[in-house]
Amino acid sequence: MRHSILLLCVPVLLAFKSDKPAYVIHSADGKKVTYSKMLKELAGFDVIFFGELHNDPIAHWLQLELAVSLHETRGSSLKVGAEMFETDNQLIIDEYLSGTIRETNFEAEVKLWNNYKTDYKPLMLFAKNNNLRYIATNVPRRYAAMVSAGGFEALEKLTAESKALIPPMPFDYDPELKCYKDMLSMGGGAMGTHVNTNLPKAQALKDVTMAWKIATNYNTGELFLHLNGSYHSNRHEGIVWYLKRYRPELKIAVINLVLEKDPSQLSEENKGTAEFVIAVPATMTRTY
Complete DSSP assignment for 242-263:
HHHHH-TT--EEEEEEEEESST
Beta strands, E only, the chain: 24-27, 47-52, 78-86, 134-138, 190-191, 194-195, 223-229, 252-260, 276-281
Mean of all residue pLDDT scores within the chain: 93
pLDDT per residue as tens digits for the range 33-46: 999 999 999 999 99
Spell out the residues 6+ positions from residue 53 whose beta carbon is closer than 8 angstroms to its own.
59, 229, 230, 257, 258, 259, 280
Up-side HSE of residue 177: CA atoms within 13 Å toward CB? 23
Contact 257, 51 (CB under 8 A): yes
Q: Say whether pTM exceeds 0.85.
A: yes
Q: What are phi and psi of 171, to 5 degrees?
A: -125, 160
List the chain pLDDT tens, one digit each, 288 residues: 555 544 444 444 444 456 889 999 999 999 999 999 999 999 999 999 999 999 999 999 999 999 999 999 999 999 999 999 999 999 999 999 999 999 999 999 999 999 999 999 999 999 999 999 999 999 999 999 999 999 999 999 999 999 999 999 999 999 999 999 999 887 655 544 577 999 999 999 999 999 999 999 999 999 999 999 999 999 999 999 999 999 999 999 999 999 999 999 999 999 999 999 999 999 999 999
Give the architecture-level CATH label for domain 23-281. Answer: 3-Layer(aba) Sandwich (3.40)
